[in-house]
Amino acid sequence: MALHAYIDESGQLSHTRLSSDHFVLAAVVCREGNLPVLDRLLARIRAEIGRRQNDRLAWKNIKKPAQRKTASEMIGHANFLQIIAVVACKRHLEPRITDQDAAYLKTFGYLLERLSWLGARFDTKTHYTLSHVKNFRVEKLPAFEAELRAQGTGTQVKWDHLDPLGGRIANDKHTPRLQLADLAASATARAFEHRPLLGRPADRGFLMDLLPRYMRGPYPGAANVLTSYGLKMHPWERRPEVQTLHSWVALLR
């Protein structure tokens, strides 16, 4: 049975003083047979936080911390889901971001690798839908996928375990399941985004609520069981300052 992934982002790729320090791209994944269960989860979250059933669920519109806590806990308890996220620490990227489309697609490439690994783990294919990004032209996605395929052994994407037709782009009004990806991406971003001057200190609690749902590697207890699979930090290996800044991530299992 195929897997279905719904992908959304949190933060900005722009490099201004007031823009976010991190850009997070997250996918919420479940088996095709569990899609009705996913829909019911969204309905239950709306009910629990006092929203009407046709209301759009967006992290930025859920203002009360207790309601955000409820949403992240409910997702964390949904054992039919898997979450994968790529966290780009964009102030530490070299070279500095000048082409936002290219930076988005680079981040998406890391996510795509992991979506294909999940498909391989379950011996199936992963179908994926991305939330529309403002000013991102739809035709860039298949062009990027073709470029990535052409790299051959230069990428770790297992193409046999992805939809051969490639991804699709939609909005969360017509594809409400993307709203769950928005919640996952934003809850994850809150663990990294420390902006006290803007009244937004980092809060790891929401990520810890989600953590049981994050994809892990096949070696329980290993140091990279989470960070090599479900929670990809970029850059990391060649950036000791990033490892120091987010040293707590390396302790997660």
| 167-213 tens-digit pLDDT | 999 999 999 999 999 999 999 999 999 876 666 789 999 999 999 99
User: What's residue 200's pLDDT?
Assistant: 77
Q: Is the pLDDT of residue 138 over 90?
A: no
In whole angstroms, give the CA distance from residue 107 to residue 37. 29
Specify the pTM: 0.95
Q: What is the pLDDT of residues 76-90, one digit of tens each?
A: 999 999 999 999 999
Q: How many C-beta neighbours within 10 Å does residue 149 have?
A: 13
pLDDT average, residue stretch 230-253: 94
| Domain regions of the chain by residue span | 3-251
Q: Which fold has domain 3-251?
A: Nucleotidyltransferase; domain 5 (3.30.420)
Structure tokens at 74: 């409910």
Q: Is the pLDDT of residue 18 over 90?
A: no
Strand partners, 231: 85
pLDDT average, residue stretch 83-102: 91
Q: Is the pLDDT of residue 73 over 70?
A: yes
- Indicate left, alpha or beta for 66 from its phi (over 0: left) and psi (-120 to 50: alpha): alpha
Q: What is the mean pLDDT of the chain?
A: 93
pLDDT average, residue stretch 92-100: 87
pLDDT average, residue stretch 118-129: 97
Q: Is the pLDDT of residue 229 over 90?
A: yes
